[in-house]
Structure 1
Amino acid sequence: MTDVIQATKRDSTGTAATIRLRRNGLVPAVLYGHGESNEHLAIPATQVKGLLRHHSKMIKLTGDVNENALVSEMQWDALGIEVLHLDLIRVNLKEKVDVTVPIETHGEAVGTREGGILLENMREVDIRCSAGAIPESLVLDVNGLHLGEHATASDLQLPEGVELVTDGDAVVAHVEAPRAEQADEEATDSIGAEPEVISKGGGGDDEEA
């Protein structure tokens, strides 16, 4: 999904200027790349919140600049609530880019009906695709996962033209027994184990009494 963002150029930079921007409901941003000069921009905070809701990576800048851009980095406040700054990279919609996208699990794992719990090991993965075809998310079908089984990044459903950059063997989700049940099994194993015999003094068989 590509969000259309209204951008205005800003002449003032520095801490005091950015504080004034934020007080006026704007987020400072920098647009760079493709060998062109950097543009210092201001973007409405409401539109930045829209980017977050839509998980958008690509944006169409309008207003003082007309560019297609990739959201490269977001700087957050100390509480991780408000976006303080955006880094944007100019892109051609046909060029290949590396981006991180979220994972969506679909279905109900068989293992949960066998007494297990579905645990997600990864929430996002890295992919490579054309800038104009970045998916909002990748789907992982967990219906067939039994107790003790796992799914890897290679099990994700990749749209045409999308290449997985994350290691395909990386575990994305697995089904395991509840912790209490695991503890009971470990306790049972320890009860049935042979006690270890430790000799006193460490002498050999030929030691005299």
Structure 2
Amino acid sequence: MKQPQLVLASASPRRRELLAQIGLNFLVQTADIEETPLPGESAEALVKRLAKEKAEAVWISRGVSHTPSLPVLGSDTLGILDGELLVKPADFEDARRMLRKMSGQRHEILTAVALTGAGGTQVIVNRSVVKFRALTDAEILAYWQTGEPQDKAGAYAIQGYGAVFIEQLEGSYSGVMGLPLFETAQLLQAAGIIIF
């Protein structure tokens, strides 16, 4: 088994699956950062800042005790519809409100990827557009009861049951999942990390 090539600053099982999909061996270490938007902060600035802060927090916490120092990959995903951030729902009513709003509409998913190493931090943002078909209240309730939407930005998972709601996708499937592999590979290759 090859040695770890990087550290993933995320507890997301989806991000772990995506990195494993492209043959990377990695460690996982989460970062506890404040995710509240700053006053007047745009969605793009927010998602970039959060990805960067996650990667840098893990890089700093690992310090000099880990040699050689592995680069740290951080990522963050946000949905946007009519200027509203589509974050993880607080409860069923919040999820129902978001899913009703997305019903029959297009929304944007922004996922930022940050790679921190000895040379600093590089950040790339992926933008995708998702169009939902019209949803009924009964479908929304049944979907909530699967448990899937409860910890997902925008209250749905493209890789799960939520896929049946998606009429059209413009952009990156892996980006909507939470880690755009094209952009991730660009950052890793620029840092000298062999993908496969």
- Common fold by TM > 0.5: no
Instruction: Name the TM-score, length of structure 1 as normaliser.
Output: 0.22
Larger helix proportion, structure 1 or 2? Answer: 2
- Identify, as 1 or 2, the structure richer in strand: 1
